[in-house]
Amino acid sequence: MKTVKYTAAFLILSGLSAPLWACSAMPPESSFIYSNDRNGDGMLNRSEWRESRADEGLAAKFTVGGRKVFRYLDKDRNGAIDRGELAGRIDYIEHPCAAWERAVRQMSDEAAAGQDR
């Protein structure tokens, strides 16, 4: 098991596998819409909005599901809220890649400590 960890840490440190080891997450507004978009059109209509919930891990700067908030956020008045209309108004409490980055850092620290021995 140690060999696997050290090999992974070596590959990460050497940059050989950067594309394989990269962590990516969708923007928070996309995550919110994806979680609440029942008809899959990439937007939240009034009905979807009323039943929307912000996932644990997301912090919204608006009252989720509120009628007045819907009117305020629907800037183009097309009856639906899209990603652009939510941009900057919702964020991750902790970025989804943060735990992954800590784990990678710990592996590389352990690998470095192993080389010092």
User: Using the rule CB under 5 A, is 74 a contact of Ca ion?
Assistant: yes
End-to-end, the C-alpha distance of the chain in Å comes to: 18
The smaller minimum CB distance to Ca ion, of residues 41 and 94, is found at: 41
- Segment contacting Ca ion (CB under 5 A): 48-56, 60-68, 91-99, 100-108? 48-56
CB of 83 to Ca ion, least distance (A): 10
- By CB under 5 A, name the one of 76, 94, 101, 109 that touches Ca ion: 76
- By CB under 5 A, name the one of 7, 17, 78, 106 that touches Ca ion: 78
Q: Which ranges constitute the DSSP H helices of the chain? A: 2-14, 18-21, 28-36, 46-50, 67-73, 83-86, 98-116
What is the pattern of x (binds Ca ion, CB under 5 A) and - over residues 6-45?
Answer: -------------------------------x-x-x----
Question: Tokens in use for 48?
Answer: 């979807």
Closest by Cα among 36, 59, 60, 40 to 49: 36
Cα 9 to Cα 20, 22, 86, 97, distances in angstroms: 13, 13, 38, 17
Considering only residues 79 through 108, tell me which ones interact with Ca ion, judged by CB under 5 A: none
Residue 65 near residue 54 (C-beta atoms within 8 A): no
Question: Tokens in use for 105?
Answer: 């850092």
Size of residue set near Ca ion by CB under 5 A: 7
Q: Which residues bind Ca ion (CB under 5 A)?
A: 37, 39, 41, 48, 74, 76, 78
